[in-house]
Structure 1
């Protein structure tokens, strides 16, 4: 199989909504996801995707910022690979592509959040060399 990794064009952002909907534990509706993505795509955000031929099989949002403790930083968000394609090393290939892509853009650190109950992702990120730095808190207003 030959997979294509690329940054999705802004006008195609709604293509990722069905994949992200499968991921979200909070079951935000697809309509709300579309609205939020239309805002996100105009912020410091890009969306990396994986195609298997013409089929969209994976997604990873990339948030860019500069942080006082890590410098120019990118945060992968809503990482999802279709169930059928898991366990084949595609996540590793995708992250290798992302590391290279963001490094070429001058970013020097990557940090992320993952759901506490998502044990498969924890194993993946530990294997990728990520370390736990702290806790992520949220308060809805």
Structure 2
């Protein structure tokens, strides 16, 4: 069966929480993740997903904005592929779908952040043609 790529419906946004929890280096509780996703889904945000039949196997948030240096831009966020599907080309297929989807919406650039220690993602993004532009800083208030 081929994979299904789509934007998840707003009312199903909490379905992505179990996969996103795998990236949860900041130890955000499940309840807080669900609350944050319920806010995010009503902002300049969509969530792309991959299904293998009825099983959710991939997730990628998409933040939309216009930046002075890159124009209409989309930022993939919290990209996760289920462990059992890694190394099988699902991420490449997923990003191929995302590129077409956001281009059709009129976006001209894509930029993202990835954790410094996530070496597998660095290799993936370099292979996808991404270049390092700068550093991402955070300060909790």
TM over 0.5: yes
Shift of 1:120: 0.1
Write the mapping of 1:81-92 to structure 2, written as runs, cut at 5 A.
81-92=81-92
Shift of 1:118: 0.1
* TM-score (normalizing by structure 2): 0.99
Shift of 1:25: 1.1
Helix, strand or coil: the match of 2:5? strand
Q: Distance in 1 between matches of 2:83 and 2:24?
A: 14
Over aligned residue pairs, what C-alpha RMSD do you find? 0.5
Question: Which aligned segments of 4 or more residues in structure 1 are displaced greater than 6 angstroms?
Answer: none
- The answer as to 2:7 corresponding to 1:7 is yes
Shift of 1:40: 0.2
1:72-99 Cα deviation digits (max 9, x unpaired): 0000000000000000000000000000
Shift of 1:17: 0.5
Shift of 1:123: 0.1
Shift of 1:107: 0.0
Write the mapping of 1:71-86 to structure 2, written as runs, cut at 5 A.
71-86=71-86
Segments of 5+ residues of structure 1 without an aligned counterpart are none
Aligned residues: 141
Shift of 1:66: 0.1
Shift of 1:27: 1.6
Segments of 5+ residues of structure 2 without an aligned counterpart are none
Tell me what 2:23 maps to. 23
1:12-52 Cα deviation digits (max 9, x unpaired): 10000011011121121110000000000000000000000
Tell me what 2:114 maps to. 114
